[in-house]
Chain A
C-alpha cells in the first residue's frame, strides 16, 4: 500500500509528461489528479495505521553498494513519515484540483501537471526514506521540481533567473547536507537511520580537530545537516531564493514554497532528533538561526507590496518558528506548527492566487482595494487564513504558535528567552502585515479599476473551502501531537529526559500564555490605524524612519551583497583563469611556446641549407681544418 501510494504520483507524472497523446487532452489533467487523490486516500489509511503504533519498512531493492556502503531503495512508515505523507498528499491533491481552474488557459498544462506530480513523488520519497541517501535523493528531487516549476513560464527572464537562483542556493545547503552524510558514514559505517541512531552512543566521544579546537564530531555533523535544512527551508543567509521563487505559478508557491518542500528542513531536523539531542551547541545554533529568521523575515515582509512576496517572507518567518522549536528540543511542537502552517499558508497562497486570477495577474496590493464585495468567498478564506496565521483562538495557529513560544519560555535559558521575545515581536509584525494585506486588498476604496474582477471557478473555491476547514480545526485535532501525556510519535522523535522545554511548556505563567494573543491584536490594531483609519500614516512613518524602512524595503541588501561578494568575483575569476591562466600561461609556455621555439630554432638552422655548393664546400673545409688541428694537438700531446 505504501509502495502504491508513493509511486502513483510518479505514474501520473510519466503518463501526462511523456505520453500526452496516449492519455488525451483531458487525461493529462485528470490522470495525475485522480492518481493523487487515490494516494491521498491511502495516506489517510496509513496514518490511522501509524497512529495505532504500527511501523514498518518495505525494501524495494539495492541502490548503491560499495565497500561498507550498502544503500537500498526502501520505504519506511512510522508516525513521522505518516504525518508528512498525509500533509503532502492533502495539499498536493488540493493544488492539483486548484490548478485545473487556475491553469485553464495555459497551453502547457500537460507539462505543468507532470511536474506537480513528479514533485509529489520526490517529496514522498524524501519523507518515507529509511536512510540518509534516499532522503538526499528526494531532497534534490524536490529541489529540481521546484526549479522546473519556478521556471515554468520559460519566456520570462526573471522566472528563469529565479529558478537558477533557487537551485544554486539550495545546492549550497545540499553541500552541507552531503558532507554531513559523508561524516555520518565515516563515523558509523552506515547510512540507515536505524543503524546510525542506535550506534549514536559509540561516536559521542569522538572529536574533530578544527582550527586548533577540538569539536565533537556529532556537533559538526548536526551543524552540517542543519546547513542543508537552512538551504531548503530558506533560513537567514540562504533565504534569498524563496522570495524570487514567487515568479512561478501560484499553485506551485502554495504546494512547494509554503506547505511541503520548504518544510523538509524541519522534517530533517525532527527525523535526526536522535542526533541533534546529543549536540547542544548545534541545537543552540538552530534556536538562534530560527529566532533570527522569524523576526528578520517578518520585518522585511511589512514593507513589501507584492502580495506573494509578503506571504513568502511570512513563510520564511514561520519556518523560523518551527526551527527554534526544534532547537528547544520541542520537535513535536515544530512538527505541529508544520502541519497547521501547511493548512493556513497553502490557504493564503491559494487565496492570493484566486485574487491574482481575478485581477488578471495583478500582484501589487497598492493597486487593489474594496474587493471583499466582488470576491466574497476568497475574502472569507483569506480572513480565516490570516486569523490562523497570527494565532488567534480558536484558529489553528493559536495552538501551534502558542506551544512554541511557551516552550521557548520554559526552556529557561538565555537563548530560550531570546527566542521568546524575538518570536513575540515577529508575531506582532505578522499580525501587522497580514492585516495590511486584508485591508489593502479587500477593504477601503478601490485604487484601480477592479470592475472586471470576478469570483473564481469552483475548482479554485473547493480547495479554498477544504483548507479553510483545516485551518480552523487542525489546531484542535493536532494538539495531541504535543500533548506529553500521549506517546503520539511512537518513538519516531527522540527527546532526552533532561530536555524538558516541551513538558514545562504546559506550565508557564498565564501572561506568557496570553502574550501572543495580545501582540497579535495590537498588530491588527496598528494595521487598522495605518491602512483604514489614517491612510497617510504609512508615508509619514516611512519618511520619518527612512533608515529602518530602507533596510526592510531592500531586504537587508542580501542580494546585492551576494552579487558583490560572490557572483561578480566568481565571474571575474573565471575570465581571468581562462584568458590569463589557460591562454596566457599554460598555452603560452606549453605547446604554443614550444612550437614557437622550435620554429625559431628551425628557421635559424635552415639558413645553413642554402643550396650553394661553395657554402657547403667552405663549411666542409672549415670542419676539416678544425678536425685536423684537433688531432694534431692530441698528437703533440698538448691536450
Chain B
C-alpha cells in the first residue's frame, strides 16, 4: 500500500471534499447539516491517512513517500512530493487540527457555512501541500496560496475590524513573498534545478548566499512572525473567528519556522551562520518585548497572540544555534506551540461563544460555574508557561541548553522569558477564572458540553504525551536533524 500516492491523496481528498460540498443544494438547514458532516468526515479521513503515514514512516534520514511528475521539463519544474521526519510531524499536526477546527465551528458559524467549510478544506489541502512539496516552485505556490483562504476566513467571518486586519495580514505576507519569489528564481537558475533534494546538496557561492538569505528571511520572518514583523498577528487573531485563530496559531505560524529549517539553514548554511547573531538579537527582543506587551493586554486574544510571538522567539533562537539540542528543541517547541496556542484560542472561543466579549475585565469568577473548563484552561496555561511534564517545557529546555552553548548571555535572556511568560499567563488566568463573579452573565455560564470535551481531550493528551514522552516524536525527526547539523558543521567549517 505504500506504493499508493498517499501524499497526493492527502492533498486532494480535502479538495474533493470541498468540491463535493459545493454541489450540495436544497433546503438551508439540510445543506448546513450535510456540509458540516462532509467536511468533518473528509478531514477525519485525512487524519487517519496521516496516522497511517506516521506508523509506516521509516525512521531514516532523507525523504520518503516520494512522488514525481514532470511538469515543465525545460525549466526543471516538477510536481514533486515527499516528506522527511520533520515535515511528517507538521503534516500530522495540520491533519490533527483541522477536524478540531471544524468541530469548533460547529455552532459558532451561522452564515455562509458552505463557503466556510470549503475554505477550511482548501486550507488543509494547501497546508499539507506546503509541508510535502519537494519542488521549490511548488512549495512557493502552496505557501502563497495559503494566504487566500486565510485572508477570506478573516475577512468574511471575522470581527468588526476584520477588513483592516485582513489587509494588514495580506500586506505583510505579500511584501515578504515578493522577495522570496525573486530568491527562488535566482536559486533555481543558478543551480539549474528546483528539486529541493538537489538544492539541499548544492553549494551556493558565499556572496550569493548573503544576498539570498535576507530575501528568504523576509518571507519566513513575517510568517513566523519575528519582531518587528509581528504586528499583523495580534490584529489578525483578534478579528479572526475562533477556528481561524486556531489554524493560524497552530499551523500557519509553523510554516515560517519550517521554512527556516528546510531552506534557509541547510541551503544557505554560511549565510545562516553569518546572520545568526541578528536572529538571536531579534529572538531575544521578541521574547522580552512581546512578553512585556502581553502583560498589559486587555483583550484575551491579543494576549495569546503576543505570547505566540514570544514562543516563536524560542523557535528561531533554537534553530540558529545549529546544535542538535537547539533544533530538536525548536521543532518540539513548534509542535507544542501548535497544540497549546491552538487550545488556548479554543478556550477563549468557548468563553466568547457564551459571553460575546474577549475583554479580560468582563470576566472573573468563571471557575464557580465552569470548574471543568477551568481545569482544561489551566492545563494549557501551564503548558504555555512551560511547567515540566507538559509539552512547553521540553522545547524551552532544549533551546535554553543549546543557547548556553552559544553564549551565557543568550541563555540568560532566553530564560527571562520563562519568568515573564509565567507572569502574564498567571495574571490572565487569575483575572478570568478566579475571584468573585461580578458580571451577571458570568453567573449564568454553563460548563463545557460533550462536543467541547471531544475538542479538548485529544489536545490535552497530546500536551502530556509530548511533555512526558517526547521521544515518540523526536525519534521521527532525529536522523533528519543529525544530518542537518552535520552538513552545516561540515560546510560552515570548510
Which residues of A come within 8 Å of B, CB atoms? 61-67, 69, 73, 133, 136-137, 140-141, 144, 147, 151, 154-155, 157, 160-161, 163-164, 167-168, 171-172, 174-175, 178-179, 182-183, 185-186, 208, 570-571, 573-575, 577-578, 581-582, 586-587, 590-591, 594-595
Complex contact B323–A67 (CB within 8 A)? yes
Roughly how many angstroms separate A581 CA and B227 CA in the complex, as a whole number? 11
Residues of B within 8 A of A136 (CB): 388
Residues of B within 8 A of A578 (CB): 293, 296-297
8 pairs, A vs B, C-beta closer than 8 Å = A63-B470, A65-B470, A66-B398, A154-B434, A172-B419, A179-B411, A582-B231, A582-B293
Complex contact B415–A570 (CB within 8 A)? no
B430 at the interface (CB under 8 A from A): yes
Complex contact A63–B401 (CB within 8 A)? no
Complex contact A160–B430 (CB within 8 A)? yes
Complex contact B365–A155 (CB within 8 A)? yes
Roughly how many angstroms separate A155 CA and B296 CA in the complex, as a whole number? 23
- Mask of B405-442 contacts with A, CB within 8 angstroms, 1/0: 10010011001101100110011001001111000000
Residues of A within 8 A of B382 (CB): 144
- Mask of B364-385 contacts with A, CB within 8 angstroms, 1/0: 0101000000000000001000
Report B386-410 residues with CB < 8 Å from chain A CB: 387-389, 393-394, 397-398, 400-401, 404-405, 408
Contact of A573 among B231, B292, B388, B398 (CB under 8 A): B292
- Mask of B262-290 contacts with A, CB within 8 angstroms, 1/0: 00000000000000000000000000010
Complex contact A154–B292 (CB within 8 A)? no
The smallest C-beta distance from B412 to any residue of chain A, in angstroms, reads: 7
Contact of A137 among B171, B228, B388, B434 (CB under 8 A): B388
Best-surrounded residue of B382, B404, B416 (most CB of chain A within 10 A): B404
- With both beta carbons as reference points, the residue of chain B lying nearest to A598 in the complex is identified as B171
Complex contact B468–A577 (CB within 8 A)? no
Complex contact B419–A175 (CB within 8 A)? yes
- With both beta carbons as reference points, the residue of chain A lying nearest to B475 in the complex is identified as A65
Complex contact B398–A65 (CB within 8 A)? no
Counting from the closest, the 7 A-B pairs by CB-CB distance are: A67-B324, A574-B296, A574-B292, A137-B388, A182-B404, A66-B328, A154-B434
Contact of A64 among B289, B365, B367, B397 (CB under 8 A): B397
Residues of B within 8 A of A171 (CB): 418-419, 422
Roughly how many angstroms separate A172 CA and B416 CA in the complex, as a whole number? 8
- With both beta carbons as reference points, the residue of chain A lying nearest to B289 in the complex is identified as A577
Which residues of B come within 8 Å of A, CB atoms? 167-168, 171-172, 228, 231-232, 234, 289, 292-297, 323-325, 328-329, 365, 367, 382, 387-389, 393-394, 397-398, 400-401, 404-405, 408, 411-412, 415-416, 418-419, 422-423, 426-427, 430, 433-436, 468-471, 474-475
The smallest C-beta distance from A218 to any residue of chain B, in angstroms, reads: 15
Contact of A140 among B167, B388, B419, B426 (CB under 8 A): B388
The smallest C-beta distance from A459 to any residue of chain B, in angstroms, reads: 26
The A interface, classified by DSSP as helix, strand, loop or mixed, is helix
Complex contact A178–B228 (CB within 8 A)? no
Residues of A within 8 A of B411 (CB): 179, 182
Roughly how many angstroms separate A577 CA and B168 CA in the complex, as a whole number? 20
| A66 and B418 in contact, given A182-B400, A577-B289, A591-B172 (Cβ under 8 angstroms) | no
Q: A61-B469, A73-B468 are in contact. List 7 more A-B contacts (CB 8 A).
A: A69-B398, A140-B387, A167-B422, A186-B404, A586-B228, A586-B231, A587-B231
Residues of A within 8 A of B471 (CB): 62-65
- With both beta carbons as reference points, the residue of chain B lying nearest to A220 in the complex is identified as B408
Roughly how many angstroms separate A154 CA and B375 CA in the complex, as a whole number? 13
Residues of A within 8 A of B296 (CB): 571, 574-575, 578
| A64 and B470 in contact, given A160-B434, A167-B426, A186-B404 (Cβ under 8 angstroms) | yes
Roughly how many angstroms separate A9 CA and B216 CA in the complex, as a whole number? 52
The smallest C-beta distance from B106 to any residue of chain A, in angstroms, reads: 26
Complex contact B388–A595 (CB within 8 A)? no
Complex contact A591–B293 (CB within 8 A)? no
The smallest C-beta distance from A56 to any residue of chain B, in angstroms, reads: 23
Residues of A within 8 A of B436 (CB): 155
Best-surrounded residue of B296, B324, B405 (most CB of chain A within 10 A): B296
Roughly how many angstroms separate A137 CA and B392 CA in the complex, as a whole number? 13
Roughly how many angstroms separate A445 CA and B7 CA in the complex, as a whole number? 84
Roughly how many angstroms separate A185 CA and B325 CA in the complex, as a whole number? 11
- With both beta carbons as reference points, the residue of chain A lying nearest to B323 in the complex is identified as A67
Roughly how many angstroms separate A176 CA and B228 CA in the complex, as a whole number? 29
Residues of A within 8 A of B474 (CB): 65-66
The smallest C-beta distance from A232 to any residue of chain B, in angstroms, reads: 14
Contact of A591 among B171, B393, B401 (CB under 8 A): B171
The smallest C-beta distance from A89 to any residue of chain B, in angstroms, reads: 21
Complex contact B404–A183 (CB within 8 A)? yes
Residues of B within 8 A of A582 (CB): 231, 234, 293
Roughly how many angstroms separate A586 CA and B415 CA in the complex, as a whole number? 26
The smallest C-beta distance from A278 to any residue of chain B, in angstroms, reads: 20
Complex contact A168–B426 (CB within 8 A)? yes
Residues of A within 8 A of B234 (CB): 582
The smallest C-beta distance from A294 to any residue of chain B, in angstroms, reads: 27
Complex contact B388–A154 (CB within 8 A)? no
Roughly how many angstroms separate A140 CA and B418 CA in the complex, as a whole number? 12
The smallest C-beta distance from A360 to any residue of chain B, in angstroms, reads: 21
Complex contact B430–A62 (CB within 8 A)? no
Residues of B within 8 A of A586 (CB): 228, 231
Residues of B within 8 A of A160 (CB): 430, 434-435
